[in-house]
A and B are shown apart, each in its own frame.
Chain A
């Protein structure tokens, strides 16, 4: 990287930060101001990544620096019905809504929870439970080497804060929606979610992202999930951003002993989508799953950069990413599995399968195993290619026409992840969205 290039494109974001720090963020507690300041410094030092950096080899973020993204000035007024398509039909569950990056209290509903459970805007949590937030914010998503995480941290304020005390079950999935409207100037938002599930507690979380079509905007989200000993966190992330949106995200988790964590990221939208995931298994007997799907068409670019870290012995991890790529879309999957020294009896399985429906679609898949223990089982496999002719013939030989057969095979590739979705409402919703997505021209048709 040429020296001096680092700060290219960052000035605008620094200006935005100055305005933010002297205005809305001015009454933040001292510790948070310090965290933000340090994050901004880190962001300017790192600069935006270039394709010369290994982790960003296939993803050029330059277009992000070419828009004059700004924080939304006023809270947008939306009627609740506009957001209905983004919610699962779950009666009585909590819904937090954020419009243009800001908490929209009037659109949110938070029911009565068991004592001690908190589901609220992070900003409110800073005031009410500052110590807890201070303890956890940035713990699993450090700002060291990811400029987008640093940028998000500089603007950290709004987002979901969820705290489930020990041995407490939140029995209805919590839904969190981030929606961006068509602004007079391109809007950016930096949602910051913090989820702390204490020992023996349990939560289901559905994060959704959506926004206006035909307008460029930037969503730069960070979600940190801390899963205590013997705790469970079942998380879903449905990305349905507008067609000109840039969506950059980091989802990091850390699990205690005998814990269970599952993360299902599903990507349908955005012009450019990059998701960094770091799943750390830090207590013996932990089990973690990444269960991803992306369906892309047009000129969409979808990049997943995942790390599964086995820090201790006797943990299982499963990683499945399926992709369906049409037109000139491009998918990148980088799946790194780290087995730390002494993390014996690790059992880790990774697959990344890409279905290419067009000759111009492209997938770059890179598994990366770093194993520093000798008694482990780690498998990985990646495939890419068009529909299987033999499978199509098999369907035809059962009376299913060629076109319907192609649709069925494509659909099957998409819904394969649903076998690992535990929440029926999420499964039904994703099934419907996958069909819609395929019918919209990506993959031609759906059964």
Chain B
């Protein structure tokens, strides 16, 4: 599904990713871990197409297509979803209006009929039921005045509605208390299907108790320095990141 080869990327002329190789197959969950400043979030942003980053070398193939040349909206329409570490407030626009705009942009792109307000209410109710949430966030402006936990939940709600093939969760666990973490992880697990894949970017092992990865990769200094199974996350929890930094140096 996703094939990253020797990916190099810069921000403001500074190289942050220095040769990433990563392959993700349908149905898999990959965890990307690493210390602050290792390039985890940059990788997530580069995959979503953030204009502040420039890919200078290497390639990213998604479902056989070259992702690097695609506009952010085209990546989304093709099924790539990034749950933001810092979701952005959109003043004046309610969540319901925003979600319908997003779903309709994607449906239009696929040549499907756009949802009117009533159609969309049905779709939304079904999704909320699936993940077991209420509609309390729907009529508030997107992320405007939301608590940290509400923002993260809102990202997962968008993911539920947009039904991506490849979901990248960028530090979705950071700042959440254990109850909020369970709620978010539970929703992610419910949305899991054999034909979609999830990349979980996290600093802490804690999330991986609830979203169990098939593969764990450790990023340091812009490269993947170690890959393994879910037991690698536990090892990192125990030993910290310092021993890997030394290996990477």
Contacts and interface: CB of A to CB of B under 8 A. Distances in A.
Interface stretch (A87-95, A127-135, A238-246, A388-396): A388-396
Interface stretch (B19-27, B82-90, B203-211): B82-90
Interface string A396-420: 1111111011001101111110110
A418 B91 CA distance: 12
A394 B90 contact: yes
A412 B73 CA distance: 19
B71 interface: yes
B105 interface: yes
A399 B109 contact: yes
A104 B48 CA distance: 60
Nearest to B48: A397
A394 B206 CA distance: 27
A388 B142 CA distance: 14
B91 A398 contact: no
A398 B102 contact: yes
A447 interface: yes
Interface in A216-245: none
B92 interface: yes
A353 B76 CA distance: 31
Contact of B105 (A391, A404, A409): A404
B34 interface: no
A31 to B, nearest CB: 48
B59 interface: no
B77 A393 contact: no
B93 A412 contact: yes
A72 B71 CA distance: 58
B156 to A, nearest CB: 13
Contact of A399 (B51, B92, B162): B162
Interface string A181-206: 00000000000000000000000000
A390 B48 CA distance: 13
Given A408-B93, A414-B92, A415-B92, A399 B87 contact: no
Contacts of B71: 396, 401-402
A131 B105 CA distance: 62
A399 B51 CA distance: 15
Given A408-B93, A412-B90, A414-B92, A399 B141 contact: no
A321 B89 CA distance: 18
Contacts of A409: 90, 93
A393 B84 CA distance: 11
Contact of A447 (B72, B77, B101, B106): B101
B172 interface: no
Given A394-B87, A416-B141, A400 B105 contact: yes
B49 interface: yes
A412 B49 contact: no
B76 A394 contact: no
A399 B105 contact: yes
B75 to A, nearest CB: 8
B50 interface: yes
A424 to B, nearest CB: 14
B91 A412 contact: yes
A108 to B, nearest CB: 35
Nearest to A400: B105
B215 to A, nearest CB: 24
Contacts of A400: 73, 101-102, 105
Given A399-B102, A400-B102, A408-B93, 17 more contacts: A353-B91, A388-B88, A391-B88, A394-B84, A396-B73, A397-B75, A398-B76, A398-B102, A399-B76, A399-B77, A399-B106, A400-B101, A404-B105, A405-B73, A411-B92, A416-B91, A416-B92
Interface of B: 48-51, 71-73, 75-77, 81-82, 84, 87-93, 98, 101-103, 105-106, 109, 141, 158, 162
**Nearest 10 A/B pairs, CB to CB:** A412-B92, A416-B92, A396-B72, A399-B76, A398-B102, A412-B93, A394-B88, A399-B106, A399-B105, A396-B73
Interface of A: 353, 388-391, 393-402, 404-405, 408-409, 411-416, 418-419, 447
